[in-house]
Amino acid sequence: KAGVTQTPRYLIKTRGQQVTLSCSPISGHRSVSWYQQTPGQGLQFLFEYFSETQRNKGNFPGRFSGRQFSNSRSEMNVSTLELGDSALYLCASSPSGSSGEQYFGPGTRLTVT
């Protein structure tokens, strides 16, 4: 099976702009989770989508949003970018979320200038 893919891999934006990141899960996986990874904070959970519904949400401001499509592909959007949003954004897919096993994509490196 093909692994989790994310596009784009690298992105440079300026403060105030918005950005959309995409994640395609492993075929058959219905759960997609998003994480922000920074050197100081480690892996921070953003949200999880399952069957097109947001099932869980972490402690991030409303500028961070996401959605999932009927084919399980997911997108996350960050509006009004801030310098502190610079990070590696990882998505992870899971068959259903209930087993806990997650398989990560390569990530999107976002730099905000």
Partner 1 sequence: GENVEQHPSTLSVQEGDSAVIKCTYSDSASNYFPWYKQELGKRPQLIIDIRSNVGEKKDQRIAVTLNKTAKHFSLHITETQPEDSAVYFCAASGPGGSYIPTFGRGTSLIVHP
Interface residues with partner 1 (CB under 8 A) are 4, 33, 42-43, 45, 48, 55-56, 90, 97-107
**Contact call for residues 86 and 103 (beta carbons, < 8 A):** no
In the complex with partner 1, which residue's Cβ is closer, 45 or 79? 45
In the complex with partner 1, which residue's Cβ is closer, 84 or 100? 100
In the complex with partner 1, which residue's Cβ is closer, 56 or 80? 56
Q: How many residues does the chain have?
A: 113
In the complex with partner 1, which residue's Cβ is closer, 29 or 81? 29
CA–CA distance, 39 with 21 (Å, rounded to integer): 20
Taking the complex as a whole, how short is the minimal distance between the CB of residue 104 and partner 1, in angstroms?
4
Q: Burial level of 65, CB count in 10 A (0-12/13-18/19+)?
A: middle
Taking the complex as a whole, how short is the minimal distance between the CB of residue 97 and partner 1, in angstroms?
5
Taking the complex as a whole, how short is the minimal distance between the CB of residue 60 and partner 1, in angstroms?
13
Q: Which residues contact 79 (CB under 8 A, 6 or more apart)?
A: 18, 63, 65
Taking the complex as a whole, how short is the minimal distance between the CB of residue 16 and partner 1, in angstroms?
29
CA–CA distance, 103 with 91 (Å, rounded to integer): 8
